[in-house]
Amino acid sequence: MFKYMILVSILAVSMIFASGCSDPGETADDIEPVEIFPVEIGDLPSEIEEWVEESKYKFGGHTRIYEDQLYILAAYGERPTGGYDVEITEIIEKNEKIEVLAHFTAPDEDEPVTQAITYPYDLVMIEETRMPVSFTTTGDID
């Protein structure tokens, strides 16, 4: 619960800070939330499953269009243990581009973790768009 409260606090402060850094000509009407569709790995087309398997090793944001859907992957890359997490928290349309907000979390030093190499990521899809996609990351990024 404590970690959740810290995460919510960090996100709230980040959002306040980000809103203070916006373009003075930008209004709330210029920003639109994008509907996010969660995906399950077992339900993906094989081409997308292969893309996820190849891309999860590379830290950062990745996109792939397949059959009128835009798949968005935020990957932590290779991590030395379990306990790492990635969450795509929001996707918005802003200034004629898609902005993906992703939060990365590392385990606390005293947190028990699986002693195995892991490749944490989050995968969602939205309706296909030809707008450019940018990623904004927060949290525990090396």
* Domain spans of the chain, in order of start: 31-139
Count of beta carbons in the 10 Å neighbourhood of residue 73: 25
What pLDDT does residue 16 have?
Answer: 37
Q: Contact 89/101 with Cβ under 8 angstroms?
A: yes
Identify the weakest region by mean pLDDT among 14-18, 99-103, 117-121. Answer: 14-18
Q: Count CA within 13 A, CB hemisphere, residue 86.
A: 27
User: CA-based diameter of the chain, in Å?
Assistant: 50
Element (H, E) at 126: strand 121-127
* Residue 122 CA: distances (Å) to CA of 28, 72, 94, 130, 132: 27, 8, 22, 21, 20
Q: Which two tokens stand for residue 103?
A: 């939060």
pLDDT in tens, 44-97: 999 999 999 999 999 999 999 999 999 999 999 999 999 999 999 999 999 899
CA dist., res. 138 & res. 142, Å (int) = 11
Q: Return phi, psi of residue 82, to 5°.
A: -75, -175
Amino acid letter for position 23: D
